[in-house]
Amino acid sequence: MKTPSPLQELSEFEKDALREIINLAFGDAAAGLAEVMGIYVFLNVPLIQIMSPEDISSYIEKELSSSTGLNIVEQYYIGKIKGVAFMVMSYENAEEILSILGDKDLLKLDDYSVDMLAQETLVEIGNIIIGACVSKIAEILSDNVIYFPPRYLRGSYDTSNLPPEFFRSNSYVVMLKTVFKFETKELNGFLFLVNSYDSVHWLKDSIDKFVSSYV
């Protein structure tokens, strides 16, 4: 008997509920960022895509390819949900990132220091957004996750580094993506989470419980 495609496993209503879950999660993340760093974030409608583990590498490669070079904060997490989050921003130079912080004195530093500070700022932003977002999703789905340290990468992403135990062939992958924009400058970024579930039944049950408790 043919195994049903993952695309058929979640109903449209369940996908709608997942979209609302990430909406809540990203709302919390943006508020966290605003509080900690004084940065206002415009939020866009989150996207959800169900995919097979075999498609993850090509999806990530497509998302993380850019002629101008990307700045990527990558962070793995593990619980009943296992996955990796990518916060991605594309900018021409480090000063654009530091301009988010609004401190003109930072731009007087030498080029190396500006670059390092921009990286640290990005990692911090990524840490806050990814942490708040994933934690909220885990909380809503009654899961606990632990995080691996975030990693900064520039330019391109080598998908051969994706750990196979995270995305086994019998797992079920949900990609969640949100595009965001910082108010201070025309800097855009996006966050996408690639989540693997060993049991789609656990995911469906958790979504059902969330739906029941939604009001």
120 is written with which tokens?
């640290």
How big, in percent rounded to 5, are the helix, strand and coil portions of the chain? 50, 25, 25
How many chain residues are in contact with another protein, going by CB under 8 A? 23
Nearer to another protein, 16 or 96 (CB): 16
Report the C-alpha dihedral over residues 194, 201, 148, 122, rounded to 10 degrees: 40
Q: What does the chain come to in residues? A: 215
Nearer to another protein, 78 or 204 (CB): 204
CB 65 within 8 A of CB 88: no
67 is written with which tokens?
């002629």
Nearer to another protein, 94 or 174 (CB): 174
Residues 21-50 as x/- pattern, contact with another protein by CB under 8 A: --xx-xxx-xx--x-----xx-xxx-----
Residues 140-179 as x/- pattern, contact with another protein by CB under 8 A: ----------------------------------------
147 is written with which tokens?
């995080």
Residue numbers of the site for another protein (CB under 8 A)?
A: 13, 16-17, 19-20, 23-24, 26-28, 30-31, 34, 40-41, 43-45, 183, 211, 213-215
